[in-house]
């Protein structure tokens, strides 16, 4: 006898929900989930292996529950006078965001963001029993301070997610918008800066807004700029009081000794790891210019991907690229597709494949 979810006593608010699931396929060029497609440099990989080997000597013991060394390393990387007391981390930034929701949302509470935005926000929200409320963006996917404040004041959410720059559109968000959102919000405001390292170098981070704002948090990830997606490490900066709240909901020893060792070793080589960012940005801008030349519309992007519109049939275009060995993402925005900026060779393969569709090759 075969059973389905409907045969189980699952929570009613989870019935009908779909899990997150970007396609995973063994294609020559995979540019669909915004990974850093560059491998970890050999000299850094060697130090990471040494650190993990050393950690293995004590793997029979529980790891440092407070992951003190890693928090100090993150504080040093972020700067701005932060200390380890301002830092939290988890197995990917999704777990960090889940901790925030577990502590400040939950049944009878609400979480909010401006759609379209990162698809995990509503999934994480509903998974913690809270209600998801979607606001709106302008036609170019921007949000003004006035609009942000008005929408948040009307909804009065317990948690506000601000994806800056935004996924899946790549749109930047100004500090003025973040300040307006914070002032209008009665609850926690979390700025998701997963792609901050790909923004222009002179762009100020929301971390500069933390002093005096005990309800503000800024999350980051090592998955993108640090080419560490497989290691699953995300982190957050906030007032120490907010960090204390997250301790109430985390699982004991949630970061393994091996994860702590690998991430700390990688952070020690931040300059080398981030050396890939300039090349990725160059390929991103190359994609934008070329898809425009092919007759599509590339939206402004401060990330490692490009959302482009003017696609008559996104499903057909996606399939045609797939058939040519190139995997990109249909994120559900009508007449749009999204592609990650990969290496120069991967970018060329995508652009050549896209151009071949236009020529009928």
Q: Are residues 340 and 201 in the same domain?
A: no
Domain boundary among 222, 239, 268: 268
Joined together, the tokens standing for residue 121 give 């926000």
Beta pairing partners, 134: 113
Q: Is residue 17 part of a domain?
A: no
Q: Are residues 203 and 95 in the same domain?
A: yes
Q: Is residue 208 part of a domain?
A: yes
Q: Are residues 109 and 186 in the same domain?
A: yes
Q: Is residue 2 part of a domain?
A: no
Q: Are residues 286 and 260 in the same domain?
A: no
Q: Are residues 129 and 194 in the same domain?
A: yes
Q: Burial of 238 by CB count in 10 Å (0-12 exposed, 13-18 middle, 19+ buried)? A: buried
Q: Are residues 121 and 228 in the same domain?
A: yes
The CA distances from residue 111 to 36, 104, 215, 219, in Å, are 29, 9, 14, 16
Q: With residue 339 as reference, give the H or E element that holds it.
A: strand 336-340
Q: Are residues 109 and 197 in the same domain?
A: yes
Q: Are residues 310 and 323 in the same domain?
A: yes
Joined together, the tokens standing for residue 95 give 């777990």
Range of the domain at 284: 22-40+274-359
Q: Are residues 71 and 32 in the same domain?
A: no
Q: Is residue 297 part of a domain?
A: yes
C-alpha span between 111 and 220 (Å, rounded) = 19
Count of domains in the chain? 2
Q: Is residue 207 part of a domain?
A: yes
Domain holding 291: CATH number?
Answer: 3.90.1150.10
**Region label for 212, one of left (φ > 0), alpha (ψ between -120 and 50) or beta (otherwise):** left
Model pTM score: 0.94
Q: Answer whether 236's CB lies under 8 Å from 33's CB.
A: no
Domain boundary among 215, 240, 268: 268
Domain boundary among 230, 252, 268: 268
Q: Are residues 248 and 157 in the same domain?
A: yes
Q: What is the pLDDT along the chain (361 residues), one digit of tens a residue?
A: 788 888 889 888 888 888 877 777 788 999 999 999 999 999 999 999 999 999 999 999 999 999 999 999 999 999 999 999 999 999 999 999 999 999 999 999 999 999 999 999 999 999 999 999 999 999 999 999 999 999 999 999 999 999 999 999 999 999 999 999 999 999 999 999 999 999 999 999 999 999 999 999 999 999 999 999 999 999 999 999 999 999 999 999 999 999 999 999 999 999 998 889 999 999 999 999 999 999 999 999 999 999 999 999 999 999 999 999 999 999 999 999 999 999 999 999 999 999 999 755 4
Q: Are residues 34 and 46 in the same domain?
A: no
Q: With residue 292 as reference, give the H or E element that holds it.
A: helix 275-293
Q: Is residue 172 part of a domain?
A: yes
Q: Are residues 69 and 145 in the same domain?
A: yes
Joined together, the tokens standing for residue 177 give 């918008």
Joined together, the tokens standing for residue 180 give 């307006």
């Amino acid at each position: 006898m075969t059973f389905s979810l409907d045969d189980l006593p699952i929570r009613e608010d989870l019935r009908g929900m779909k899990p997150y699931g970007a396609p995973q396929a063994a294609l020559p060029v995979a540019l669909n989930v915004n990974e850093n497609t560059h491998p970890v440099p050999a000299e850094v990989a060697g130090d990471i292996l040494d650190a993990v080997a050393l950690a293995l000597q004590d793997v029979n013991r529980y790891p440092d529950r407070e992951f003190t060394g890693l928090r100090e390393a993150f504080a040093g990387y972020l700067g701005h006078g932060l200390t380890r007391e301002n830092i939290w981390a988890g197995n990917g930034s999704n777990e960090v965001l889940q901790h925030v929701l577990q502590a400040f949302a939950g049944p009878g509470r609400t979480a909010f963001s401006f759609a379209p935005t990162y698809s995990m926000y509503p999934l994480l929200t509903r998974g913690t029993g809270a209600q998801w409320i979607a606001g709106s963006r302008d036609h170019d996917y921007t949000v003004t301070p006035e609009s942000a404040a008005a929408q948040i004041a009307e909804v009065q959410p317990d948690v506000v997610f601000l994806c800056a720059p935004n996924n899946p559109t790549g749109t930047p968000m100004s500090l003025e918008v973040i300040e307006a959102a914070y002032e209008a919000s009665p609850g926690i405001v979390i700025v998701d800066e997963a792609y901050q390292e790909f923004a222009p170098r002179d762009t100020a981070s929301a971390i500069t807004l933390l002093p005096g704002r005990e309800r503000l948090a800024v999350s980051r990830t090592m998955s993108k700029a640090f080419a560490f997606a497989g290691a699953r490490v995300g982190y957050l900066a906030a007032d120490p009081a907010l960090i204390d709240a997250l301790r109430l909901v985390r699982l004991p020893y949630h970061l393994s000794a091996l994860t702590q060792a690998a991430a700390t070793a990688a952070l020690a080589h931040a300059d080398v790891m981030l050396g890939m960012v300039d090349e990725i940005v160059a390929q991103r801008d190359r994609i934008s210019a070329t898809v425009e030349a092919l007759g599509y519309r590339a939206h402004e992007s401060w990330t490692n991907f490009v959302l482009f519109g003017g696609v008559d049939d996104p499903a057909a275009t996606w399939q045609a690229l797939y058939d040519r060995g190139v995997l990109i993402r249909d994120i559900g925005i009508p007449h749009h597709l999204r592609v990650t900026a990969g290496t120069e060779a991967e970018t060329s393969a995508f652009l050549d494949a896209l151009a071949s569709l236009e020529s009928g090759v």
